[in-house]
Amino acid sequence: MSSDTDSTQSTTTTTTPPATPTQFKSITQIQTFPLAHPPPPKHTLRLTSHLSLQIQQLTPTSRRPTPILEVYQPSCFGKTLAGGPRKLTARDMYIVQSEEYTHLPGQSAGTIVGAIYMPVREETKKKGLSGGVWFPFGGGWEVSKVERGYRFSVRKLTTDGEGEVVRVVEWEKRSSRSRPSSAESGSEMKGDRFVLSIADTTQSGLRRPWLATLTRKGFKVGGWNRAQREYLSSALRGHGDVDEDAALYTCLLTMGVCVAAQEGWVNQYV
């Protein structure tokens, strides 16, 4: 496996309380997560799960990256996840905790911490759907393809059964000629990249700073302020004894893997 380690209930409208000046200060350091890709699959028929991607973490105190999350595709028989919205097909993916985040307490090794439901081809053509992501600690997020990239949203059921969007983030595609932020180096600007931000029109003050960036080589995640953390973490609560910060990192990284898969950046069975 090769690794790139040199880069990177029905309620009324829910709102986030106005942020104070201290809430706009960054409360996290940016963490670097390189992506390691196994060899491309050789056979279309498989009887066991296939490792498609490994997400690693770099630390200042270690020269070697730590494997954090592993992304698998189920066997041809699919896979059932307890509490999941539906059975995973052979095209879908699930996320397993390999080791704890180096800067946080986390899940035990081998724990399934997320799932990615790839779009059904017919749905994609007729409705523009791009699947969804699901977490045992935070339920599901809908995913839709938008002009600028990919939008992830959480809905709460309303009396009409339609559901009200209460949390929304967006991975926005940026060209390589865009000016890099302080968190990015020139080498990371080569090729396509995505930036993640809160895309709630009722919370425009939370759009910056970015929550994460994604390139073919990996992620940079963190740097958010207290108001942004509260906005996101409130959608991940009440689902077991899980560290909120670890859940937040897993959530954002899983969303990024979903985007990477849609862009063809992951060696996967299709």
pLDDT, tens only, 196-205: 999 887 777 7
Cβ–Cβ under 8 Å, residues 198 and 190? no
270 inside domain: no
* pLDDT of res. 209: 81
Give the pLDDT score at 170.
94
Question: Cα(163)–Cα(248) distance, rounded to whole angstroms?
Answer: 23
Span 35-85, pLDDT tens digits:
999 887 676 677 888 899 999 999 888 889 999 999 999 998 999 998 888
Q: Is the peptide bond before 209 cis (omega within 30 degrees of 0)?
A: yes
- Structural domain that includes position 194: 2-11+22-177+190-262
pLDDT score at 171: 96
Give dist(CA 136, CA 81) in Å, integer: 9
Q: What are phi and psi of 152, to 5 degrees?
A: -115, 130
Is residue 183, in this structure, part of any structural domain at all? no
* CA nearest neighbour of 56 among 14, 9, 102, 88: 102
Residue ranges of the chain with per-residue pLDDT less than 50: 5-17, 19-22, 125, 178, 180-189
Output the pLDDT for position 101: 93
How many domains does the structure of the chain reveal? Answer: 1
Position 203 scores a pLDDT of: 76
Residue 184 within any structural domain of the chain:
no
Look at residue 268 and tell me if it is in a domain. Answer: no
Q: 114, 77, 67, 82: which is closest to 95 by C-alpha?
A: 114
DSSP annotation of 139: E
Looking at the domain assignment, is residue 269 inside a domain? no
